[in-house]
Amino acid sequence: MPGETGAQQDDAAACTRIVPVVLAGGSGTRLWPMSRENFPKQLIDVVGTDTLLQATVHRLDGFGEGWQVASAPIVVCGEEHRFVIAEQMRACGRDARLIVEPARRDTAPALTLGAALASANGEDAILMVMPSDHAISDVGALQRALECAARHAQRGAIVTLGVPPRSPETGFGYIRIGGALDDGAHRIDGFVEKPAPELAAQYVSQGGYWWNSGIFVMRASVWLKALQGLQPAMHDACMAAFAEGTADGAVFRPSAQTFVCSPSDSIDYAVMERLAGNGVDEQELPQGVVVPLDAGWSDLGSWDAVWAAMEKDECGNVARGRVLFEGAVASYAHSEGRLVACVGTSNLVVVETPDAVLVADRSKVQDVKGLVARIKAQNAPEADEHRKVRRPWGYYDSIDRGERFQVKRIVVAPGGRLSLQLHHHRAEHWIVVRGTALVTRGEESFLLTENQSTFIPLGVRHRLENPGKVPLEIIEVQSGSYLGEDDIVRLDDSYGRYS
């Protein structure tokens, strides 16, 4: 609080718990074909060995001495991504608490649910709110900025991190910085929408404007009180949805019927812009503070941003996977399997996946979003899913298809089980190539081992399970008049899926 000594502030910090809140509800189009509608960029390893989501939750590892960081972050996501998010959290050693939004309502309602969960036990924790799909090259610099932000949040401010601009970018919002505070922080004087190129160049040349990073720090109670005053309809709908929600282990589900009544809005629009220029608080609003972040931040909003964020060779090229450059300059190439060879290319992006290849000029990569919209309008599957589709029990890979047949490679994790189901339009042949399968077919159940097979006739209920300790791998050959994934009638499902 104002007037506290440094020792008092340190004592206060030592008593304050920090809860990371990771916003992971977005969908993916700009990094197509690696990101898809049902597998967005936060779930892929676009710049390192960790996925962007995993890298985000690791950024508070070893956070500043004297602060107690919750070991289980809160991750807010949609139903369509919750299984793969839970799997990725387990893989990186995090017992995350998941809030599954029943509908997309932008970041302000998502944060409100996170604040409600963080304070459910009566504790007024400091929330560190981070998008799940950004890149940070200097984690130490990020943590120092977050420590500064936490001290201001401790005193009741709502804090955002601003990135001193390196170039006149038109794809970012800007924060107009106000009067200086301690630790290099400033009051927020205003927010500016994504500017035209001339205006962006003016912001960079004259100074006083920082990119808006989308990272926020505040006490849970401060956010909830500010939202109640500024956006009462959103506050009431979100809090009622939380109160009426249900918990299943580490997964919390707000009431769908109540949550959809909440207005949809971002953190910036709903609250932060109303705090701009707020010095002496006349309306009992918290102070808006911005802390500089110079940590190699990128929102990875395009393939050009991915190229800029990565280490390059002496000719400015970036290669991932099986890639060869010959006489190429300032190009990005990514291969997920096949050899990609770039000869004499300049400022080019090439991204190869098993079912699609993107070739684009680096200066035109913002147009990828429009391209995906055209793919979607054609009802082509490449807009929504990869060839390899993840499920809560494992995954399947559609390796071949033609008229009246499709071949899939299915991998079931140990203990995994598909739903008890039937199909109206297709029959299936299963061949075990690794592991042991427990098969339910009609009224019978039996085991299959390597090189054994079975046939599932059209209309017969069936289930595939892995009772073993190693992954079960089978080849499935489907035949019939219609082979779409919507020809599944689920009769029982261990993961709560009935559509």
Token pair listed for 271: 């609250």
Q: How far, in Å, CA of 471 to CA of 269, rounded?
A: 47
SS3 state of residue 74: strand
H runs (alpha helix) in 177-249: 197-206, 220-230, 232-243
If we measure between CA atoms, which residue out of 220, 152, 154 comes closest to residue 186?
A: 152
Spatial distance between the Cα atoms of 483 and 487, rounded to a whole number of angstroms:
7
CATH class, range 6-298? alpha beta
Is residue 121 packed enough to be buried (19+ CB in 10 Å), middle (13-18) or exposed (0-12)? exposed
pLDDT tens, position by position, 1-19? 333 334 334 444 444 799 9
The Cα 64–Cα 14 span in angstroms is 10
Q: Is the dihedral of CA 350, 319, 56, 253 positive or negative?
A: positive
Spans of all domains in the chain? 6-298, 303-377, 388-492
Sheet holding 348-353, edge to edge: 318-320, 332-335, 348-353, 356-361
The domain 388-492 belongs to what CATH superfamily?
Jelly Rolls (2.60.120.10)
**If 0-12 CB within 10 Å is exposed, 13-18 middle and 19+ buried, where does residue 469 land?**
exposed
Per-residue confidence in pLDDT tens, the chain, 499 aa: 333 334 334 444 444 799 999 999 877 788 999 999 889 999 999 998 999 999 999 999 999 778 999 989 999 999 989 999 999 999 999 899 999 999 999 999 999 999 999 999 888 999 999 999 999 999 999 999 999 999 999 999 999 999 999 888 888 889 999 999 988 999 999 998 888 889 999 999 988 999 999 999 999 999 999 999 999 999 999 999 999 999 999 999 999 999 999 999 999 999 999 998 665 444 578 999 999 999 999 999 899 999 999 999 999 999 999 999 999 999 999 999 999 999 999 999 999 999 999 999 999 999 999 999 999 999 998 999 899 999 999 999 999 999 999 999 999 999 999 999 999 999 999 999 999 999 999 999 999 999 999 999 999 999 999 999 999 999 999 999 999 888 999 999 998 876 5
Determine how many CB atoms are found less than 10 A away from the CB of residue 181.
16
SS (H, E, C) 313-352: CCCCCEEECCEEEECCECCEEEECCCCEEEECCECEEEEE
